[in-house]
Structure 1
Amino acid sequence: MKRTIQARIYKGDTQYVAECTDLPVVTQGKTLDEVTANLREAIALHLEGEDFSDFDLALEPVILASYELGVLSHAET
């Protein structure tokens, strides 16, 4: 059983977007704090009333979100 739900957060055109890699959950928010709160809520709603073992998840999984910083440009010399 997995103890971690993985997600990716990145900056969209106008808002931050969070996508789970383990579950079909996507949400957005104007700030990192907002998208993080929305991600927690969306995952909770998706799993509400479900048997966690159907998703190969432990009873109290943690959410591990990685933040995409974007393209790294080379420093000019």
Structure 2
Amino acid sequence: MKRKFTARIHREGGWFVAQCLEVDVASQGRSEEEALENLKEALALHFEPPMPTEEARVREFEVEVGAA
């Protein structure tokens, strides 16, 4: 399945950074084209289903939130 995404590309020093606007994924390259190709690869890996190496554990825990 193919999906369309939007990339914001900017320069940081000697690198171009490509950031996907729909998903929190980014990549970089020496050219805009390389940064965009690397972003495509990163997105493909991001959407690849996880392959656990062991059975997942579910645990409950508490966190203090707000003023004490």
Q: TM-score, normalised by structure 1?
A: 0.55
Specify every segment of 5 or more residues in structure 1 that has no aligned partner in the other structure, as ranges: 51-77
Q: Distance in 2 between matches of 1:4 and 1:40?
A: 11
1:14: Cα distance to partner? 1.7
Alignment of 1:43-58 (within 5 A): 43-49=43-49
Larger Rg: 2
Q: TM-score, normalised by structure 2?
A: 0.61
Query: More strand by proportion, 1 or 2?
Result: 1
| Amino-acid identity (%) | 40
Q: CA RMSD in A?
A: 1.5
Hey, which bits of structure 1, 4+ residues long, moved more than 6 A? none
Partner of 2:22: 22
Specify every segment of 5 or more residues in structure 2 that has no aligned partner in the other structure, as ranges: 51-68
Aligned length: 48
Q: Distance in 2 between matches of 1:36 and 1:7?
A: 8
1:4: Cα distance to partner? 2.5
Q: Distance in 2 between matches of 1:36 and 1:13?
A: 17
Higher relative contact order (CA 8 A, sep 6+): 1
